[in-house]
Structure 1
Amino acid sequence: MRKSGMVLAAVFTTVCCMKMTAQGMLPKVLGDNKVEFAVRAPEAQKVQVDLGGTKYDMTKGDGDTWRVTTNPQVPGFHYYSLIIDGVSVADPASPSFYGCSRWSSAIEIPEEGMDDFEVQAVPHGEVRTVHYFSDVEKKWRPLMVYTPAGYDESRKDYPVVYIQHGGGEDHRGWMEQGRTAQIMDNLIAKGKAVPMIVVSSNSNVRSSSGGFGGGGYSWQGMQTFRSELLESVIPFVEKNYRVKKDRKSRAMCGLSMGGGQSFYIGLRDPEVFANVGVFSTGMFGGIRGASNFDLEKEVPGMLTDTKTFNKQFDVFFVSCGEQDPRIEYNRIIVKTMCDGGVKVKFNSYPGDHEWQVWRKSLHEFAQYLFKE
């Protein structure tokens, strides 16, 4: 076995020796939002926790157990990894989620007043994982579909939201990290949102001819996934679920990369979508390679035929985290839209480029949708 393989095997062995402590299973969120971690790794020379990009050195104590307590963390969902002798691994003592282009551990820092993100004593919908055949990839691909409470008993048709994940994530992100079902159940039960179906697809699409369609902040860069969505995903949903099939009953939204997809596909296909939500996109600026975004070029008619543009969309919503490097660029572009007469709703929330911001974005966006 090569040395790297031996290191990984050793790491796997030591990490699997996580143990119960007198304070309960770690990691543990403390009262001041600090987080305590511990791992038993008797043969390790150096152990760290990488929490949201900040690395904390752990200290070896009795029983070969390494410990550290982090700085206070802001509320929300935070990915983390253990780093044992330079090898980064998920923590088997915590649930793993697909994010950052790998399986990662995560910890939730609770936030007061966010009960709508939790399971409550209300009627519950269902999240189903189904498979459709992709005409782009020429193979079966997964979808996760939220159906509201009462869907199976009802005979009525429902409006539908197509919701997109960010870079390094997939179709599971919104349903697992994003808590879509909890948000929708609670909003619908309170009468704040109409009952709707939410469809989460995997936009990391590679066409059979070799083109990749996940990202690329350009109209051309969106074409592979656009084909997947319009020619495979939506037809599958409309064949297999009771959904309304008119444009006013369809919405598209997404975070980061998915926000860019929603901007381009949603706004340039008004015959398909009448409702668009763009959360924390970097295409306006704040990330490497983004600069001089030309609204009229990217969405022809937005500024030169604004009256027509506004008539095409019932809801156009943009959001961003207040500590996100993208925030000022989003504010500037929204001001440009507003100055040009575009009807756009905008909101920002405390937080960086992370899930608590995106949960709040969905929570707000859903309340605007499909209202008579």
Structure 2
Amino acid sequence: MKRFLNSVIIIFIMYFQSGWSQETLIIEDFKPSSINQPDRQFPQVNSQRRVRASIAAPNANKVQLDIGGVKYDMRKDANGVWTGETNPQDEGFHYYQLNIDGASVPDPGSLYFYGAGRIGSGIEIQANDQEFYALKKVPHGLVSENIYFSKLTNSFRRCFIYTPPGYNENTKTSYPVLYLQHGSFEDETGWSSQGRANLILDNLIASKQATPMIIVMDNGYAYKPQNNESEDKKESQQSIFEDVLLTEVIPMIDAKFRTIPNREHRAIAGLSMGANQTMRIMMNNLDTFSYYGGFSGTANYPSTEPIDAATFLEGKYKDGNVLNKKIKLFWLGLGTKEPNPFPKSVGAFRTLLEQQGIKYNYYESPETAHEWLTWRRCLYQFASELF
């Protein structure tokens, strides 16, 4: 027995002296992700928040799991099935893909989401506060697809509309509206899919923490029509999304849905690129909106330089007293782990607001970066203060 204990002690000493840590040990309690394709066992997540993926690719020479900007080598077994794990990931939703012999492809085991400029895979890492966006036994609203023809872009476009629980039953009730925008390389599906905006509002309304509201989620990419238009050319064009929203979308929504069509009952918000867009739209149209929410971004994105109130956005922030009377809620949110330039650009903008005496609310999402859990939390906090 003594000899056995001595052997165990020697093994542990060698283990720690080797430079390893207990973090390198993988706990084998993996479970299928909550957003897998039906009946698919992979990808999986364990209690360490590691992701494990598996795919049959018998003729491949190298397969990697690509998540969070890091590629993890996968192992091939005798049957040609590749399996691999990641380091622990942050809580929340993350895009990922598989790289097979240099070609990046979605994982056939996961549901697909549009993000990072492509259709790809997604994984949910269980969050400690996930109850606020969980699917629960509460009254649920409806997310509907609304297709329309835009004369300004000379193209068919679409937006998704969230109507709150009871909308179809309470036919004499009209509702305030939140216009909610996605980020760069995402589209109008983002907020109701990976963002879970409808579930967040369902839960808030059920607990009487938010006013029932309509949410409109449109595509922030809108350009004047041009001949022989390429995707690269589109990126260099000047956006006309503000015109599309003001002259086409809002009148259409007010005509098709039971809205309260005035500035006192209209809000606008967005994440990252969408925060930039919506802040500019808000400040150009204070007769249209009275509530603003900027998640991980502002109109100075991505600049980190000090802001001159006399010139910034044509001097629209010069008079804090006027803005405090016009804007009912000016709200900003940011993750505590966001990389620069986001903390610096938002910080520079907050300095401007404070110098001008402009009232605003600020929220920090703990331990999240430029990712969907940050923005889910922001929407949760912001929506509870609207209307």
Give the match for residue 322 of structure 1.
336
SS of the aligned residue for 2:384 comes to helix
TM-score normalized by the length of structure 1: 0.87
Q: Which runs of 5+ in 2 are unaligned?
A: 1-35
Deviation at 1:264, TM superposition (A): 0.4
Once superposed, what is the RMSD of the aligned Cα atoms? 2.3
Give distance in 2, aligned partners of 1:82 and 1:71.
Answer: 16
**Equivalent position SS for 1:175:** coil
Q: Which residue of 1 aligns with 2:201?
A: 184
**Aligned-partner SS, 1:359:** helix
The correspondence for 1:114, drawn from 122, 130, 134, is 130
Equivalent residue, structure 2, for 1:259: 275
User: What is aligned with 2:286?
Assistant: 270
- The equivalent position to 2:220 in structure 1, one of 190, 193, 203, is 203
Contact 2:306/2:348, CA 8 A, preserved across alignment: no
Q: Indicate whether 1:284 and 2:300 are aligned.
A: yes
How far the C-alpha of 1:292 sits from its partner, in A, is 4.9
- Give the one of 90, 106, 109 matched to 1:74: 90
* Alignment partner of 1:298 is 2:351: no
Change in CA separation of 1:245 and 1:367 when aligned onto 2, cut-off 3 Å: same
Task: Quote the offset at 1:332 in angstroms.
Answer: 3.2
Instruction: State the 1:133 CA deviation.
Output: 1.9
Amino acid at match of 1:318: L
Q: Which amino acid is the alignment partner of residue 78 of structure 2?
A: D
| 1:1-372 mapped onto 2 (5 Å cutoff) | 25-154=41-170, 155-209=172-226, 221-222=238-239, 224-281=240-297, 284=300, 287=302, 291-324=305-338, 325=340, 326-349=342-365, 350-370=367-387
Counterparts of 1:190 and 1:214, CA distance in 2: 43
- Relative to structure 1, is the Cα distance of residues 77 and 115 closer, same or farther in structure 2, using a 3 angstrom cutoff? same
Structure 2 distance, partners of 1:129, 1:298, is 37
**CA distance in structure 1 between the partners assigned to 2:275 and 2:155 by the alignment:** 26
Secondary structure at the aligned position of 1:176 is classed as: coil
SS in 2 for 1:346: strand
Quote the Cα distance in structure 1 between the aligned partners of 2:216 and 2:158: 11
Contact 1:146/1:199 (<8 A) preserved: yes
Matched-pair contact (CA < 8 Å) for 2:305–2:345:
no
Name the SS for the 1:173 alignment partner: coil
Q: 2:263 & 2:373 partners in 1: Cα distance?
A: 29
Q: Is the 8 A contact 1:264 1:298 kept in 2?
A: no
1:305 maps to amino acid: D
Q: Distance in 2 between matches of 1:243 and 1:322?
A: 36
Q: Does the Cα contact within 8 Å between 2:309 and 2:318 map onto a contact in 1?
A: no
- Aligned equivalents of 1:134, 1:225: Cα separation in 2: 11
* Partner secondary structure for residue 190 of structure 2: helix
- What number of residue pairs does the alignment pair up? 343
Distance apart, 1:215 and its partner CA:
7.7
Secondary structure at the counterpart of residue 281 of structure 2: helix
Structure 1 SS opposite 2:191: helix
With over 3 angstroms needed to count, the CA separation of the structure-2 counterparts of 1:234 and 1:84, relative to structure 1, is same
Q: How far did 1:139 drift?
A: 2.6
Instruction: Give 1:183 deviation, angstroms.
Output: 0.3
Contact 1:161 1:252 in 2 (8 A): yes
User: Which structure 1 segments of 5+ residues have no match?
Assistant: 1-19
- 1:207 Cα deviation after fit: 1.5
1:103 alignment partner AA: I
Bigger shift: residues 61-70 or 120-129? 61-70
Larger of the two Rg values belongs to structure = 2
- Deviation per CA, 1:123-166, whole angstroms, max 9, x where unpaired? 10000001122121123211100000000111111000000011
Q: Identity over aligned residues, as a percent?
A: 37
- AA aligned to 2:140 is H
Tell me, in whole angstroms, the C-alpha distance in 2 between the residues paired with 1:35 and 1:221: 40
Instruction: In structure 1, give the amino acid aligned to 2:382.
Output: F
Give 1:214 shift.
Answer: 8.6
SS in 2 for 1:63: coil
Q: CA deviation at 1:290?
A: 6.1
Give secondary structure in 2 for the equivalent of 1:92: coil
Farther-moved stretch of structure 1 (179-188 vs 342-351): 342-351
- Contact 2:191–2:197, Cα closer than 8 Å, also in 1: yes
Cα distance change on mapping 1:294 and 1:44 into 2, 3 Å: farther
2: CA distance, partners of 1:296 / 1:183: 39
